[in-house]
């Protein structure tokens, strides 16, 4: 497949430092020998900078400061005033859109337009959260007693710890943080170890917004580190909500630990997203939707399309067209405007892809296109791959697993019931799609898909921020971003107010 040349690590490092400086990160604390964390780029696999890993004390200090700021100022600051902080952040994000996008490309390997799109999600959620800051509505409920009012009020929750993954290093942080901040919570963020620089840039922009709007500096803090930092955030009783994005395995550890202290959890875990292509589908849409969702972001979105469930009558036509489109995909340097597929994040992802392809083949699958490593000579420490399409005879165990790489499994069906059964026959439940022109089929799919996101005639990835984002089953059940997802970041109080001279008891109970 066509490829684009790879720039040297030094050049990428200079570009990262320039972007960081423009975002206001000027003095990076170089780490001592102990507790080093390296900022790296998957573009070459090279190291960019050594940073300090947060210590146990750093974590404790951050939680203490966040808790104090919550108690003493932030929760009592009027919500529209809290919104002013997020509005300023949105302005700064507009100004530094391409600086952050550079860092996202450099650390996560995302192509230019997808990296800019990710920053656009941040800008959009700031607008949303600003509006929300005047709309944290509770209900008024008809009381059964005369002279009484029953109502719900929403109050800030406390410290929210946000744990994010490498693949959406800035957008997922902003969904959580912009909403949590207007809800009156303070935030302690543990970004992925693979994307520390983007995190420092976000933190610097938010600090600047706080200074300029008079918000306390400790409304937000960032902690760079590995699972040990995450574990402390999970176990600390002062953390009211743990909002974590990552693998199902991570969620299975975090969920029960937070539950053991009766804390709250918001989990965004893996997906194994499918699209059903019906015989009446507009194949132009189906092909474009499939190729972006399956090969875009090198298959490293939690919403990436991993299974295509195609009616037998259109299977050959559509697979031929997808294969032809895959042959045109340019793989290589994500900073180059012509590239469509950047690198995998690292060696483990590459090994997982190879192993999955080997297993799929052993299960009777036929690789129709892709699957090879590329640019190995130019970038021996980076992992570029050709996105793969594999025709599978059955939905075997490997198909039911989420492999975080660009592999699209194609399965066929005869009846729509069969399609739904295959579709729902995995443990994850994030995103789903149907391509059809038959309204009854579309409506049945909307009702029957067991995912949190169910689309018609568009792919599985690339959701807008206005809706609630998240999924069911092993995906963890959490909802972030738009709609009423804000309710997870607040506590609800039910209030009964008696404005009469009597004290009638509910349910007609008599006493004294
Ligand atoms: C993720 O992959 O963790 O819907 C988030 C999408 C993006 C968000 C993906 N808006 O693909």
> What does the pLDDT look like over 226-270, one tens digit per residue?
999 999 999 999 999 999 999 999 999 999 999 999 999 999 999
Rounded to 5 degrees, φ, ψ at 480 are -125, 175
> What does the pLDDT look like over 367-419, one tens digit per residue?
999 999 999 999 999 999 999 999 999 999 999 999 999 999 999 999 999 99
Decide: 168 in ligand 1 pocket, CB within 6 A.
yes
Tell me, what's the pLDDT at 20? Answer: 97
| Cβ contact 166:246 at 8 Å | no
Decide: 195 in ligand 1 pocket, CB within 6 A.
no
| Cβ contact 298:404 at 8 Å | no
- Of ligand 1's listed atoms, the one at least distance from the Cα of 464 is 10
Tell me, what's the pLDDT at 26? Answer: 77
Centre of ligand 1 from the C-alpha of residue 438, in Å: 28
Pick from 60, 13, 20, 37: which is nearest to 204 by CA?
20
472 beta partners: 429
- Of ligand 1's listed atoms, the one at least distance from the Cα of 302 is 2
Decide: 297 in ligand 1 pocket, CB within 6 A.
no
Tell me, what's the pLDDT at 269? Answer: 97
* Integer Cα distance of 208 and 315 in angstroms: 54
Q: Which residues does the chain have with pLDDT short of 70?
A: 29-34
Q: Burial-class residue 32 by CB neighbours within 10 Å (0-12, 13-18, 19+).
A: exposed
Q: Is 195 helix (H, G, I), strand (E, B) or coil?
A: coil
**Which of these is catalytic: 118, 121, 193, 268?**
268
Tell me, what's the pLDDT at 15? Answer: 97
Answer yes or no: 302 catalytic: yes
ipTM exceeding 0.90, yes/no: yes
Decide: 463 in ligand 1 pocket, CB within 6 A.
yes
Number of neighbours of residue 144 by Cβ within 10 angstroms: 11
Tell me, what's the pLDDT at 295? Answer: 98
| Cβ contact 55:230 at 8 Å | no
Tell me, what's the pLDDT at 4? Answer: 83
Output the pTM of the full model.
0.97
> What does the pLDDT look like over 47-101, one tens digit per residue?
999 999 999 999 999 999 999 999 999 999 999 999 999 999 999 999 999 999 9
End-to-end CA distance of the chain: 85
Strands 186-190 and 220-222: parallel
């Amino acid at each position: 497949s066509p490829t684009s040349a790879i720039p040297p690590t030094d050049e990428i490092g200079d570009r990262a430092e320039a972007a960081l400086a423009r975002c206001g990160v000027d003095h990076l604390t170089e780490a001592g020998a102990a507790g080093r964390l390296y900022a790296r780029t998957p573009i070459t696999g090279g190291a960019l900078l050594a940073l300090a890993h947060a210590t146990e004390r750093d974590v404790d200090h951050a939680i203490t400061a966040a808790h104090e700021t919550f108690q003493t100022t932030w929760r009592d600051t009027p919500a529209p005033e809290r919104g002013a902080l997020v509005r300023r952040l949105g302005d700064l994000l507009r100004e530094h859109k391409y600086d952050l996008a550079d860092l996202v490309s450099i650390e996560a390997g995302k192509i230019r337009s997808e990296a800019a799109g990710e920053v656009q999600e941040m800008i959009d959620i700031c607008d949303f959260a600003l509006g929300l800051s005047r709309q944290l509505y509770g209900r008024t409920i008809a009381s059964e007693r005369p002279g009484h009012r029953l109502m719900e009020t929403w109050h800030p929750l406390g410290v929210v710890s946000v744990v994010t993954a490498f693949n959406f290093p800035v957008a997922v942080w902003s969904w959580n943080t912009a909403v949590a901040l207007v809800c009156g919570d303070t935030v302690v963020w543990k970004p992925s170890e693979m994307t520390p620089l983007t995190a420092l840039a976000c933190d610097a922009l938010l600090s600047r917004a706080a200074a300029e709007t008079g918000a306390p500096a400790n409304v937000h803090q960032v902690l760079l580190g590995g699972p040990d930092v995450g574990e402390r955030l999970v176990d600390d009783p002062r953390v009211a909500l743990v909002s974590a994005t990552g693998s199902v395995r991570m969620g299975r550890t975090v969920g029960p630990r937070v539950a053991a202290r009766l804390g709250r959890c918001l989990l965004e875990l893996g997906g194994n997203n499918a699209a059903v292509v019906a015989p009446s589908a507009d194949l132009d849409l189906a092909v474009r939707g499939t190729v972006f969702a399956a090969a875009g972001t090198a298959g490293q979105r939690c919403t990436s399309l991993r299974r295509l469930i195609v009616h037998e009558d259109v299977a050959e036509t559509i697979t031929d067209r997808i294969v032809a489109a895959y042959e045109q995909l340019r793989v290589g340097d994500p900073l180059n405007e012509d590239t469509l597929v950047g690198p995998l994040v690292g060696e483990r992802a590459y090994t997982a892809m190879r192993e999955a392809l080997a297993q799929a083949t052993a299960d009777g699958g036929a690789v129709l296109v892709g699957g090879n490593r590329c640019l190995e000579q130019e970038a021996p420490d980076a992992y570029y791959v050709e996105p793969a399409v594999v025709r599978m005879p059955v939905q075997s165990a490997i198909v039911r697993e989420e492999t975080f790489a660009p592999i699209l499994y194609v399965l066929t069906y005869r009846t729509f019931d069969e399609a739904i059964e295959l579709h729902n026959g995995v443990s994850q439940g994030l995103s789903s799609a149907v391509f059809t022109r038959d309204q009854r089929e579309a409506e049945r799919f909307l009702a029957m898909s067991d995912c949190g996101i169910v689309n018609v005639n568009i792919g599985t990835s690339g959701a807008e921020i206005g809706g609630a984002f998240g999924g069911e089953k092993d995906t963890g059940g959490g909802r972030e971003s738009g709609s009423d997802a804000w309710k997870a970041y607040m506590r609800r109080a039910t209030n009964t107010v008696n404005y009469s001279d009597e004290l009638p008891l509910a349910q007609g109970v008599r006493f004294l």
